[in-house]
Amino acid sequence: MRTKILADNPHRETQDPEITPGWRCGCCRDTGRISSHYIHQCVDNYHHLISKPFICQKEGCIEGQKYLTAYWMPSEKRKEYSEKSGGSCPDPDWFKKAFDIRLGTKECNQIHEWEVEDWREWAADYTNNSAKAQQILSKINTVGRRL
């Protein structure tokens, strides 16, 4: 018998992929920054390595709201906050230069819906494939018992 070296992470949420996805916002996957491949449906010539990341503005997205709050914070407050946090802020307008907010609520809600639909399709495939795998294993075990 093998000895387990690491225990399961007790802080990890137990989620059954057949019931819920691991995120609440499909647009940004709870990061506040849009990372969906569907961004190309809304923005021409977008390249994730070159273009500025978009801040998620989906209704009810908590992480996106945090980014928007920082984005609209006056430069003086942002500099003060940075220095209080032990960082440096040579350019108080850096945040506005680093992120893009041109994708609005409508587009973010649409991206979320597309991602949710993708997840539903994946979950259905996963469930069907799991059921098929169980049937095959059951047949293998039945044949094995006869030998």
- HSE at residue 114, side-chain half, CA atoms within 13 A, is 17
At a CB cut-off of 8 Å and minimum separation 6, what does 76 contact?
Answer: 92
Percent of residues, the chain, with pLDDT higher than 90: 35
pLDDT at 123: 82
- For residue 26, give the nearest of 56, 68, 1 by alpha carbon: 56
Q: What is the pLDDT of residues 45-99, one digit of tens each?
A: 888 888 999 999 999 999 999 889 888 888 778 777 767 766 666 676 788 889 9
Residues 72 and 94: beta-carbon distance below 8 Å: no
Dihedral in degrees, nearest 10, Cα atoms 90, 96, 99, 103: 180
Which residues is 100 bridged to in the sheet? Answer: 54
Q: What is the pLDDT of residues 79-88, one digit of tens each?
A: 777 677 666 6
Higher pLDDT, 92 or 21: 21
What is the pTM for the complete model shown? 0.70
pLDDT at 11: 41
